[in-house]
Amino acid sequence: MSHNPKKKYTEIVTSVCAAAVLGAIVLVSQTDVISAQSSNFQGGSPQVSQTPDMSNIRILFPAGVRSAWHTHTWGQLLMIEEGIGLHQIRGRNIEEFHPGEPYWTPADIEHWHGAHPEVDALQLTIYEGGVEWLDPVTDDQYRGIRVRPMARSSN
């Protein structure tokens, strides 16, 4: 497989942006921020934008549990809060995520996510629009090659 620095740079920038968006959404969705007075902010007050199509959900995947293949109309932002999460885009290796690591899946990309075979995963998921559920993830697919994302390696 050839090394593509531009693609890797794009993935890193996307992950950093996803983390920033995740932080902003989590912050803005908390009640004390929504009702905050302008004296708590410098330079003006934040604008809260909530849409009925936006979902933010905490999901506990027990060890070995995973979703079916699916897509999202507007994409999906995932972040592992506890444990070890797995995520795979169809045709790629399974990626292993640890607490605090966000992952952005663009719109209409077939993927699945769930827990490590031996470790639960508490996951925060944020998406807007619909979900199209596809075929189940087979045991062979779930046991596929797992990698740690390059953008998060300790090297």
Range of the domain at 78: 5-152
Per residue in 23-53, pLDDT tens?
A: 444 444 443 334 445 566 666 666 666 667 7
- Residue 29 sits in a domain whose CATH number is 2.60.120.10
Report the predicted TM-score, pTM, of the whole model to 2 decimal places: 0.68
Question: How many C-beta atoms lie closer than 10 Å to residue 103's C-beta?
Answer: 26
Please state the rounded mean pLDDT for residues 105-113. 96
How many domains would you assign to the chain? 1
Question: CA–CA separation, 138 vs 117, rounded Å?
Answer: 13
Of the listed ranges 46-55, 115-124, 140-149, the least confidently predicted one is 46-55
